[in-house]
Structure 1
Amino acid sequence: MESPVTVAALYRFAVIADCAVLRDALDALCRAQGIRGTLLIAREGINGTIAGSAEGIARVVDFIRAQPDCAETDVKYSSASDMPFYRMKVRIKREIVTMGEPDIDPRASVGTYVAPQDWNALIAAPDTIVIDTRNDYEVAAGTFERAIDPQTASFREFPEWFRRERERLLGEGKAPRVAMFCTGGIRCEKSTAFLKAEGVEEVYHLKGGILKYLEEVPQEQSLWHGECFVFDERVTVGHGLVQGSHVLCRACRRPVSADGQGHALYEEGVSCADCYHERTDEQRASARERDRQEKLARARGTSHIGAVLSTN
């Protein structure tokens, strides 16, 4: 029986002196170790999710942690029964998580970290505002009790949403505590730094993100409802980081629940109820043919490179 695939979600805010040199070195190492996934490199740091053998992943993580100011790179491990990525990509970006606020630096100011074991008490307190910083399609798959959904299509929309809703959220007088969370923690590094720059004093975020919470907090004690969307072919994970019940709509990249898979407008590889009316008959026909080719490739035991999830 083959060993399960090791999956590592990692990030680190650090000054990267030469992004191109680091990109080339990481690309070569990952390919030599049979690693797949996506790594994003920017002047502000590194972010991504990769998968492969336990030994190969360990070598890549060790290499990253050997870089200047990267010894404490945050890494969350899980496993998958099958390789959850089609290929390996190492890309240089302007930001490792795109917020579009150039003056925000999580290395200079960031919210207070809260361990998964202490998170329930914080978000259950009536004077705490809980904000889910993820995108709308992620929130639809699952979220924490009492969490506010900004209904953003991308993280870049978060600053505008907060500035628009600030008065309604915080009111007048002494501002309430604000607790924020995201998948693995990286978006909260920027969102908490942003709120502090906006003058909000008591800002907290879940250390290690939802993934660490689902790994460490027993289900019977959990305030999490649903599943957590992940940016790979597992689509979602649940408590204990076991693969969830959602599938990915290949047309719109949204997660589709078990109930959604039974909807009349859902067609595997072609459309879901959310995107059916966003596509033309011609587009659905093209997607149907692509799905047929992918299934033929799998049946022959060959790879058909499909669309790959981003790590935004």
Structure 2
Amino acid sequence: MSILNISAYRFVSLDDLPALRTRVLAQCEALELKGTILLAPEGINLFLAGSRDAIDAFLAWLREDSRFAGLEAKESVSDDVPFKRMRVRLKKEIITLRQPTIRPEGGRAPAVDPATLKRWLDQGHDDDGHEVVLLDTRNTYETDVGMFPHAVDYRIASFTELPAALADDQSRYDGKTVVSYCTGGIRCEKAVLHMQDIGMQRVFQLEGGILKYFEEVGGAHWHGDCFVFDERGAVDKALEPAPISPPDAGDGTKATST
């Protein structure tokens, strides 16, 4: 039986975290899902695996809560469940940047869809003639698996290092259009909000991240595979498993992000 794997996030204010955690975990267990869900005051970040019917049932249940009605999921399939258990964790941030002035739920960062980015890369500039600079917001072990070859890669060990890297290199982006990208969209969205905070112009996130890019336009301009945060290790441009060894999060579980 094929296993459906989904990743999704939504920035939205949550103030009932313990009770929400209890309800979400009970629903996942009832549907025999495996994976990790992060809940924080700024929103939800989830990675789940199970049967198509179970995943669809969970998303339908979750979207009954108006705060999650707009949540969209990226999909891929595998032969086996790439998670050992089901966890729902409470966190300070669903993706840690430690920039408290950023309030993602206050409004989405500007985005460019995969088809538009491919067209920009094909033609060598955006639709207004500006040079396009790709910014990889992921960690070093992820970029080593695959990336856009000419993207800026700061070789960071943690997303929290990105603001300092940008501060030391901001002039690189003057007069250019910047598109940040990450695995599923969450880091590149928060990165763009930070870039706007420090006065950078023409900054966009890749809508849906690398996974949505693979899904909608294939692997054009991409080199290698895409690291994912589960037992598959990575997926190729067809969103098929391309196993590597995922890094350890330090507590006996696999690292989690998107």
Both structures adopt the same fold (TM-score exceeding 0.5):
yes
C-alpha distance in 1, partners of 2:11/2:56? 20
C-alpha distance in 1, partners of 2:248/2:237? 23
Question: Which residue does the alignment assign to 2:46?
Answer: 48
C-alpha distance in 2, partners of 1:107/1:39? 18
Q: Alignment partner for residue 134 of structure 2, among 130, 133, 158?
A: 130
Q: Alignment partner for residue 106 of structure 1, among 90, 104, 107?
A: 104
Question: Which residue does the alignment assign to 1:239?
Answer: 237
- Residues 23-49 of structure 1 show CA distances to partners (whole Å, capped at 9, x for unaligned) of 000111111111010000011110020
- Residues 234-259 of structure 1 show CA distances to partners (whole Å, capped at 9, x for unaligned) of 10001120111x4206xx549xxxxx
Question: Which residue does the alignment assign to 2:165?
Answer: 161
AA at the equivalent of 1:247:
I
Task: Indicate the SS of the match to 1:247.
Answer: coil
Summarize the alignment of residues 269-288 of structure 1 with structure 2, pairs less than 5 Å apart: none
Task: Indicate the SS of the match to 1:8.
Answer: strand
C-alpha distance in 2, partners of 1:64/1:45? 13
- Residues 108-154 of structure 1 show CA distances to partners (whole Å, capped at 9, x for unaligned) of 34432111111123343271221000001000000013101011101
Structure ranking higher on relative contact order (CA contacts 8 Å, 6+ apart): 2
Question: Which residue does the alignment assign to 1:5?
Answer: 3
- Residues 205-248 of structure 1 show CA distances to partners (whole Å, capped at 9, x for unaligned) of 111110011112144xx01110000000110001120111x420
Q: How many residues align?
A: 250
Summarize the alignment of residues 30-41 of structure 1 with structure 2, pairs less than 5 Å apart: 30-41=28-39
Asked if the contact 1:106–1:190 (Cα under 8 Å) also holds between the matched residues in 2, the reply is yes
Question: Which residue does the alignment assign to 1:170?
Answer: 173
The structure in which a higher percent of residues are helix is: 1
Task: Say whether residues 1:199 and 2:163 are aligned partners.
Answer: no
Task: Indicate the SS of the match to 1:11.
Answer: strand
List, as ranges, runs of 4+ consecutive aligned residues in structure 1 with deviation greater than 3 Å. none
Task: Indicate the SS of the match to 2:61.
Answer: helix
Question: By how many angstroms is 1:57 displaced?
Answer: 1.0
Asked if the contact 2:13–2:105 (Cα under 8 Å) also holds between the matched residues in 1, the reply is no
Asked if the contact 1:8–1:76 (Cα under 8 Å) also holds between the matched residues in 2, the reply is yes
Q: Which has the larger Rg?
A: 1
AA at the equivalent of 2:256:
T
C-alpha distance in 2, partners of 1:6/1:34? 13
Gaps of 5+ in 2: none
Question: What is the TM-score with the length of structure 1 in the denominator?
Answer: 0.76
Question: By how many angstroms is 1:63 displaced?
Answer: 2.2
Question: By how many angstroms is 1:103 displaced?
Answer: 1.0
Q: Alignment partner for residue 307 of structure 1, among 235, 252, 257?
A: 252
Task: Say whether residues 1:223 and 2:168 are aligned partners.
Answer: no
C-alpha distance in 1, partners of 2:30/2:118? 42
Question: By how many angstroms is 1:68 displaced?
Answer: 3.0
AA at the equivalent of 2:173:
L
Task: Indicate the SS of the match to 2:23.
Answer: helix
